């Protein structure tokens, strides 16, 4: 019972609502998508390489660009998600306290004060959430730029290689258009997995809570 006496109720509700939802539903879906997109990217690269073998020369540099973009994004996104999760708990706490004391609030006619307080806490949460959305857009732009390099090299190498088979050139370019979107989703999903791991950390924190002493001690019997 000490945990509930010393911990705001909103923080407990946050752990058992949003964080549990992330662990039970969001993370499994992300893993399923990552595995699917990975094999799709692998198959597409094989097709492009078979039609334009010289394309293999740029796979590693482009892969490194994707990797560095993801690492740079995750470093900030994880912290932003942690801030958003922490700032969400006071909203639940205030809402629960308001519902519990709604009779007293109406009796003293202080509804406006509680509404303003709720708005302030929601605003603070949005201040933490908005940069996370901006970081997500930042990643999308960088991934599109790198993805366009795949299309450029696939078409360029097909021409420089003197590829006379129009069907193979069309196959290479069409698959490069497909792999761009697939790679974007793969990088985004892997980034979302690392970002949502914050929920696991927060739940684990409660799982490692020190157990309270028993009602009866062995020495007192």
Burial 157-171 (b: 16+ CB within 10 A, else e): bbeebebeeeeebeb
In this prediction, residue 215 carries a pLDDT of: 64
Q: What is the pLDDT along the chain (221 residues), one digit of tens a residue?
A: 566 666 666 677 777 777 888 888 888 998 998 898 888 888 888 888 887 788 888 888 888 888 888 888 888 888 888 888 888 888 988 988 899 899 999 998 899 999 999 999 999 999 988 998 898 888 888 888 888 888 888 888 877 776 667 777 777 778 788 777 788 788 878 878 877 887 887 778 777 777 766 666 666 65
Q: How far apart are the first and last CA of the chain?
A: 23
Sort residue 51 into left (φ over 0), alpha (ψ -120 to 50) or beta: alpha
Instruction: State pLDDT tens for residues 77-119.
Output: 888 888 888 888 889 889 888 998 999 999 988 999 999 999 9
From residue 13, how far is each of 16, 126, 213 by CA, in Å? 5, 19, 24
pLDDT of residue 69: 85
pLDDT for the residue 77: 82
pLDDT at 49: 81
C-alpha pair distances (Å), 164 with each of 49, 50, 158, 167? 16, 15, 9, 9
d(CA 36, CA 190): 12
- 46-67 burial: b if 16+ Cβ within 10 Å, else e: ebbbebbeebeebeeebeebbe
């Amino acid at each position: 019972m000490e945990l509930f006496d010393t911990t705001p109720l909103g923080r407990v509700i946050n752990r058992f609502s949003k964080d549990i939802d992330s662990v039970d539903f969001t993370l499994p879906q992300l893993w399923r998508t990552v595995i699917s997109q990975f094999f799709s990217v692998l198959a597409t690269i094989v097709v492009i390489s078979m039609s334009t073998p010289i394309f293999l020369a740029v796979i590693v540099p482009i892969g490194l660009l994707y990797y560095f973009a993801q690492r740079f994004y995750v470093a900030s996104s994880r912290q932003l998600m942690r801030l958003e999760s922490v700032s969400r708990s006071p909203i639940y706490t205030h809402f629960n306290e308001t519902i519990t004391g709604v009779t007293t609030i109406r009796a003293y006619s202080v509804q406006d004060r509680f509404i303003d307080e709720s708005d302030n806490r929601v605003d603070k949460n949005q201040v933490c959430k908005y940069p996370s959305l901006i970081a997500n857009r930042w990643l999308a732009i960088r991934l599109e730029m790198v993805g366009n390099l795949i299309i450029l090299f696939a078409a360029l190498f097909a021409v420089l290689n003197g590829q006379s088979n129009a069907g193979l050139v069309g196959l290479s370019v069409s698959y490069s258009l497909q792999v761009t979107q697939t790679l974007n989703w793969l990088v985004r999903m892997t980034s979302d997995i690392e970002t949502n791991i914050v929920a696991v950390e927060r739940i684990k924190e409660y799982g490692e809570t020190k157990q309270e002493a028993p009602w009866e001690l062995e020495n007192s019997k």
